[in-house]
Amino acid sequence: MYPLTPYIITTGLLVVIGLTCLVLKRDLVRLLIGIEILFNAANLLLVAFSMQTSGFIDPYPHSIVMMALVLDGTVIAVGLAIVLNVYKHYGTLNVDKLRRLKW
């Protein structure tokens, strides 16, 4: 059985970094980076909990994490495409400036 505390500490740090990016940053690309960090923190914790049975590593959480990584990549790719179109159309990525735009 592997010790769980380094994984929990690393996951906690990743969650803090991801939430800090989401709360403090005003750039759309940095917001997407914060979301990706949060996705990776959840995946790391799921894999860490799958290794807690003595002498056995459960393959089911690993397969879930592999699918989640693929889905996370597609979510970020679509998000970056939207960010690129927003930048082409409005000329800015600042959330505060984009929030002032109304229909």
- Report pLDDT digits (tens) over 47-96: 988 887 777 778 888 899 999 999 999 999 999 999 999 999 988 898 88
Considering the segment(s) 5-99 as one domain, its CATH architecture is Orthogonal Bundle (1.10)
| Single-letter code of the amino acid located at 56 | F
Q: Quick one: tokens of 7?
A: 């994984």
Provide the 10 A C-beta neighbour count for residue 48.
Answer: 19
In sign, the C-alpha dihedral spanning 12, 19, 14, 57 is positive
Per-residue pLDDT band for 7 (boundaries 50, 70, 90) equals very high
Q: Nearest-CA neighbor of 8 among 37, 49, 40, 39? A: 49
**Residue 1 — pLDDT band, cuts 50, 70, 90?**
low
Q: Which residue in the block uniquely carries the two structure tokens 């990549």?
A: 73
pLDDT in tens, 15-25: 999 999 999 98
Mean pLDDT score, 14-38: 94
